[in-house]
A and B are shown apart, each in its own frame.
Chain A
Amino acid sequence: MVEVVVLGMLAVAAASLNGAFAGRPAEPFQEAARLLTLQRRRTARADVLLTRIGVVSLPLAAALAALVVPFGDRAAVGSGVGVVWFNAMEVVAWGAVWLAGWGVNSAFGLVGGYRFLAQGLAYELPHMFALITAALAAHSLDLRIIGEAQGGLWFAVWMPAAFAVYLVSALAMAFWGPFGHPVGGDAAGGVLAELSGPDRLVFLAGRYGLLTVAAAVAVPLFLGGGAGPWLPAWLWSPVKTCAVLALLVWTRRRFPVLRMDRAMTVAWTVLIPATVLQMLVVAIVVV
């Protein structure tokens, strides 16, 4: 369970880093204090139950995904199908975001929910191909075994297309930075538009949680797991996670938001063929 707790702390650190980029390193704590003392407001004819389910499912999905993330060769739950579990929890997040957007009965929330589903259609297939490519090379769906299978050469080095696509899809699943359209400022915050007080806090925490878990899973998939000199394996994993996470957080400063009415074409005509080709190359090499 230590792994899950550490990932939770890294999620707070990610929020802090995001604030620090704009000169507000204490932002996550100040925001938490602000949102906890703010009334939970209801919109007219809202579906309160669905909204709550959506809001709570997001951090829950992140936490459940974190269960299978290995630090070195140890994970909270040593699952033989960690890759599938991680992927399944991420699909729970789709439902969570959609319900939260739909349930509040607001046009902006609804638009945000739709945007996330469109985004899912764009990134999910390339994302799954990227996951499968790493699993294929290691002959296993167990994240611990995939991490250990990269003996001398990290998968990121000899399957760069899969790694790049994985990083892009990590941003997309946490609707972060260039993939933040579901919570975009052009729709008054989209899915977030009508979430107030503690609801908003829980939802935002879930989003940082997802981003963190996505960064952490990149380590066994592509960055050699706990392998590295001097430090023990259980320490290398979080260190590498921090590096990936910092990169993901930084993209928000660097890029404007991508709209899926544009980016969808690229996802299907560039990312999918790239990952399929990558998988073909890997399949030929390992078989």
Chain B
Amino acid sequence: MGLRRFAAQRPFVVSAADGTRDRLAVEAQMRRRRWRPALSPAETGMLVVCGNPGAALAEAIDVVWRDMPEPRVRASARDLDGVTGGSRPALELDADMADRADDRDGLRLDVLHVPLGPVLSHWPAGLRVDLTLQGDVVQAAEVTAVDTGDGTFWTEGRRAASRLDSLSRFLHVAGWEAAAERAAVLRDEALSGADDEVLAPRLASFARRVRWSRALRWMMRGVGDVQERLDGWLRDLDPARGQAPRSEPLATLPSLLEGAELGQARLIVASLDPDLGAGRDG
């Protein structure tokens, strides 16, 4: 059908904890084809799974896949031209009615239980955070590592690229697409072993652009230690000043999220950016 051939694809990309290598390949292919990623499964009929999801993640992916609009295409990470998935009956999904409870101001408000992840765009692979929300304020959070790998892709030699990957995800969450896309381009240049003399000034100019964005600072101020972590990543882009990564255990996450508004909670998670590919304590 002519119309369909003319249409650009917009894949919904899901990564398993060990799927980093695949995901980078997919993102590079998409950039070459000038495709954009979908933010939600409803946006598209194309699903791309990166890496080898464990049983729990595979099940979550299957639920999402069955619920995607037709025509559905499931493509492999290596070849985005994909295969048609065939029609499987959509699952009968149901949503519970909201409960009610007192909120922080003593008002009786609806309580919603909303899972973030493990299938969510710009989200750490394999992570699931179950939120208890009133309005869009987090009352409680429970963290699960749904999928883990047995060795990180982001070895010490790839530190700058690793920071750029985290930055790209963070900037997407912060709603700054242009800067996020730039971070991804620079990440791929760093990984392809681009000449330091070419890359260093590009990294410096990118870091300056992000650091000097007053709107971004404004939105980060007072949201946990988000700003410190972002500044740390930007510093690490300069090989002369970079420090070894400090990882914060997942167990601290719930206490950081409680009381945050959903948008803030996303920033906090994005600023921690746990790498579950490294193992359960990532």
Q: Name A residues whose Cβ lies closer than 8 Å to a Cβ of B.
A: 21-24, 26-27, 29-31, 33-34, 36-41, 43-45, 105-108, 111, 114-115, 178, 180-181, 184-189, 192-197, 200, 252-259, 261-262
Contact = CB atoms under 8 A, between A and B. Distances in A.
A30 B7 contact: yes
A109 B219 CA distance: 22
A257 B8 contact: no
A38 B71 CA distance: 6
B6 A257 contact: no
Contacts of B179: 256
Contacts of A21: 178
B218 A262 contact: yes
Interface string B62-96: 00000111110000000000000000000011110
Nearest to B115: A107
Given A34-B7, A192-B43, A256-B216, A184 B1 contact: no
A253 B34 CA distance: 17
Interface residues of B, number: 54
B94 A44 contact: yes
14 contacts: A21-B178, A33-B4, A38-B45, A39-B70, A41-B42, A107-B112, A111-B262, A184-B175, A186-B266, A186-B267, A194-B40, A254-B178, A258-B215, A259-B261
Nearest to B210: A256
Contact of A181 (B3, B213, B263): B263
Which of A23, A37, A186, A189 lies at the interface centre, i.e. has the most chain B CB atoms within 10 A of its CB? A186
B168 to A, nearest CB: 12
B50 interface: no
Nearest to B45: A38
A80 B133 CA distance: 47
Contact of B219 (A114, A193, A258): A258
Nearest to B34: A24
Interface string B256-271: 0000011110110000
B40 A252 contact: no
A22 B39 contact: no
Contact of A256 (B6, B7, B36, B175): B175
Contacts of A187: 262-263, 266
Contacts of A259: 219, 261, 263-264
Contact of A45 (B4, B69, B94, B267): B94
A196 B39 CA distance: 12
A185 B39 contact: yes
Interface in B134-187: 135-136, 171-179, 181
Which of B4, B69, B92, B171 lies at the interface centre, i.e. has the most chain A CB atoms within 10 A of its CB? B69
Contact of A255 (B93, B121, B176): B176
Given A29-B6, A34-B10, A197-B69, A189 B175 contact: no
Nearest to A23: B34
Interface string B1-33: 101101111100000000000000000000000
Contacts of A43: 42, 93, 95
B40 A107 contact: no
Given A187-B263, A188-B121, A24 B8 contact: yes
Nearest to A27: B8
B60 interface: no
Which of A38, A108, A187 lies at the interface centre, i.e. has the most chain B CB atoms within 10 A of its CB? A38
A38 B176 CA distance: 28
Contact of B42 (A178, A195, A256, A258): A195
B177 A189 contact: no
A184 B39 CA distance: 9
Given A187-B262, A193-B40, A196-B42, A41 B67 contact: yes
A1 B179 CA distance: 40
Contacts of B191: none
B176 A196 contact: no
Q: Which 5 A-B pairs have the closest CB atoms?
A: A257-B175, A34-B7, A256-B176, A33-B7, A39-B69
Contact of A196 (B43, B114, B133): B43
A185 B7 contact: no
A52 to B, nearest CB: 15
B234 interface: no
A40 B176 CA distance: 29
B120 interface: yes
Given A186-B175, A256-B179, A258-B218, 14 more contacts: A24-B8, A26-B8, A34-B7, A34-B8, A41-B42, A107-B133, A181-B263, A184-B263, A186-B173, A186-B174, A187-B266, A193-B39, A255-B176, A259-B261
